[in-house]
Amino acid sequence: VGNKTWWKEAVVYQVYWRSFYDTDGDGFGDLEGVIRKLDYIKELGVDIIWLNPVFESPDLDNGYDISDYEKIMPKAGSMETWERLLAEVHARGMKLIMDLVVNHTSDRHPWFLESKSSRDNPKRDWYIWRDGSPGKPPNNWRSYFSPSAWEWDESTGQYYFHSFAPEQPDLNWANEEVRQEIYRMMRFWLDKGIDGFRLDAIALLAKPREFADAERPEDIRYLTNQAGVHEYLQEMNEQVLRHYDIVTVGETAFVSPEEGLKYVGEDRGELNMLFHFEVCDEMPSWDMKRFKEIQRRWYKGLWGRGSNSQFLNNHDHTRQVTRFGNDGPYRVESAKLLATLLHTLPGIPYIYQGEEIGMTGVRFDSIEQYDDIAMRNRYAEEVAGGRDAAEVLRSLQPLSRDNSRTPMQWDDSPNAGFTAGTPWIRVNPNYKELNAERDRSRPDSIYRYYQKLIGLRKSHEVLAYGEFEELPEWMDSDRLYVYTRSSGETRWLIVLNHSDEKAALAWPSVFAGVSRALLLSNYPEGADEAGQADLLELNPHEARIYELG
Ligand code: ISL
């Protein structure tokens, strides 16, 4: 199981503050708004808050383009408010982790302005500059957000490298001064008493010495996991992280369990846990068999040696009940089933704001209504390439990052109670029926269900530390997922029916004669429970957690 530690027993709640709660009427959520809603978060039972980037930024990629690491962006608030937030989080017995972007900065960061000012500026080497000529970049790599990873700089006659938008130039981690400056800045925040970092795009830090052409430039895996990344992280750990009692989670794109273990192996001294994207990037819609296969492989690869995370959505990925569940007639049941899954599989569960009331994705009518830079750039590229604009819009809608960025739906008042001004992004029109106030008023609500799930995790170690085993009879089922978590004498059985149809299954033969107690279900307790029936009859999207005798 590895060592026991506080963060392995934790549940994390992600606050995308700009869409959380606006207190000054500018249409953006703010830190004061997070403070006012801390009791709402605390009541859920979570331990750690992950706050999306709040640093000074031109805000072209919603804070992921930092222009001053030691200031708070005015839209979010002031340093004073941020400090109050930290104190209020701690006063409630919770922890705060900051989302930090060290792979790149904004192109307005003073370091980049200097770097770009001349070829012999002392900071020239802080970013990645290469020769080329207009229209002939150093190689054929794509970036995440634009057709080329290279941007021509007219005044100094060279290209600079960017893994994301051209306004997000990559730092040169091979440069010792860059690394030292980043470590100093990390200590600046840690010394203020924060509890850790979510490290953005951390698998991208190392770059190859030579930028050779890729055979298939559209497969951007080459941006990640290059030789040298682990040396940087070990150094970061040695010089910074290990000197604090904190937790770190790395956003590691395109990792296999083998590669992932290098980032989070407990014997390696790098990071504590990771996000891999095998589900969110590579499984466009629900595919039970594939999902199970992914879980199996990661469990085998990491368990006992390093920690995984469980999530099905975040600020980059369409809301889980829309993408992976049923956001129509079974929205409530489906949201609860997905929650059961995430909180009972091995790994640390992450809740993305609004998930706990079953918020859904959106379809806006025109590209102008979308804010997502990834989507807008892709739209422009495809339309310029001759594709039909309406068709491009339709094809980009389902996975647009704006699906999860619409404002938190607090109540049925105008703008869902999110702001008294004009929201920076449209509110999902379904807020009148779907909002926190309404959800929480019902005893059988999604929010209340999350409370119970989290409560189970808190009161029983088995969910954090118990071994995971699938029951072979249902391994190949494309809708039933049946598994146990066990630790010492405790053995829990989880049964899920991810489908719009009813399903009946025989009580597992290995547990014949074993008594059971139903700990939690997302339906009123089934009739078969009273009599300990041999046949389990599951409703559509039903989830059950049993304790076995
Ligand atoms: O979400 C992903 C896959 O679809 C990731 O690959 C993600 O897009 C990428 O790893 C980086 O995301 C992060 O950094 C970006 C920022 O726009 C995202 O919001 C952030 O989560 C650039 O800093």
Residues 168-192 have pLDDT tens digits of 999 999 999 999 999 999 999 999 9
73 and 197 part of one domain? yes
Average pLDDT across the chain, whole number = 96
Mean pLDDT of 152-161: 98
388 and 407 part of one domain? no
361 and 372 part of one domain? no
Q: Which two tokens stand for residue 159?
A: 């290209």
Query: Quick one: which atom of ligand 1 is closest to the CA of 163?
Result: 22
Give the per-residue pLDDT at 527.
46
Residue 230's pLDDT band (cuts 50, 70, 90) = very high
62 and 15 part of one domain? yes
229 and 311 part of one domain? yes
Residue 414's pLDDT band (cuts 50, 70, 90) = very high
Q: Angle, to 10 degrees, between the axis of helix 229-239 and the axis of helix 257-264?
A: 20
Strands 516-521 and 503-506: unpaired
Query: Quick one: which atom of ligand 1 is closest to the CA of 254?
Result: 6
Q: Give CA angle at 46 (44, 47), nearest 5°.
A: 150
Answer yes or no: is the C-beta of 375 below 6 A from any ligand 1 atom: no
Query: Would you say residue 531 has pLDDT above 60?
Result: no
Best CA proximity match to 435, nearest among 407, 396, 454, 474: 407
* Inside any domain, residue 166: no
142 and 83 part of one domain? no
* Inside any domain, residue 458: no
64 and 143 part of one domain? no
* Inside any domain, residue 454: no
Active site residue 529: no
Active site residue 80: no
Query: Quick one: which atom of ligand 1 is closest to the CA of 61?
Result: 17
Query: Would you say residue 542 has pLDDT above 50?
Result: yes
Q: Would you say 9 and 346 are in contact if contact means Cβ atoms under 8 Å apart? A: no
Amino acid at 344: T
Q: Which two tokens stand for residue 6?
A: 């506080």
* Inside any domain, residue 168: no
Percent of the chain with pLDDT over 90: 97
* Inside any domain, residue 436: yes
Strands 348-352 and 467-470: unpaired
- The pick from 16, 51, 144, 220 for probing ligand 1's pocket by mutation, whose C-beta has the most ligand atoms within 8 angstroms, reads 144
Residue given tokens 């209340």 in the structure block: 448
521 and 377 part of one domain? no
258 and 306 part of one domain? yes
Percent of the chain with pLDDT over 70: 99
Amino acid at 69: Y
- CA-based R_g, the chain, Å: 24
* Inside any domain, residue 538: yes
At which of 94, 127, 161 does a domain end?
161
Residue nearest to atom 1 of ligand 1 (CA): 316
289 and 252 part of one domain? yes
Strands 543-548 and 516-521: antiparallel
Spot the catalytic one: 47, 99, 251, 356. 251
What gap in Å lies between CA 262 and CA 227, rounded to an integer? 12
Give the per-residue pLDDT at 144.
96
What confidence tens digit (pLDDT) does each residue in 349-385 have?
999 999 999 999 999 999 999 999 999 999 999 999 9
The residue segments making up the domain with residue 407 are: 6-105+176-365+401-447
* Inside any domain, residue 457: no
Spot the catalytic one: 107, 195, 200, 356. 200
Mean pLDDT of 518-534: 75
In 94-167, which residue ranges form alpha helices assigned H by DSSP?
110-117
DSSP 8: G
Give the CATH number of the domain where residue 510 resides. Answer: 2.60.40.1180
What gap in Å lies between CA 149 and CA 89, rounded to an integer? 39
Q: Give pairs for 439-445: CB < 8 Å, separation 24+.
A: 439/357, 439/358, 440/357, 444/524, 445/332, 445/357
Q: Would you say 273 and 238 are in contact if contact means Cβ atoms under 8 Å apart? A: no
What confidence tens digit (pLDDT) does each residue in 481-500 have?
999 999 999 999 999 999 99
What confidence tens digit (pLDDT) does each residue in 82-138 have?
999 999 999 999 999 999 999 999 999 999 999 999 999 999 999 999 999 999 999
Mean pLDDT of 54-62: 97
CB atoms within 10 A of CB 227: 10
87 and 150 part of one domain? no
Question: DSSP labels for 46-81?
Answer: --EEEEPP-EE---TTTTSS-SEEEEE-TTT--HHH
Give the per-residue pLDDT at 529.
61
154 and 300 part of one domain? no
In the chain, the number of structural domains is: 4
Residue 310 backbone phi and psi in degrees, to 5 = -120, 120
Give the per-residue pLDDT at 50.
98
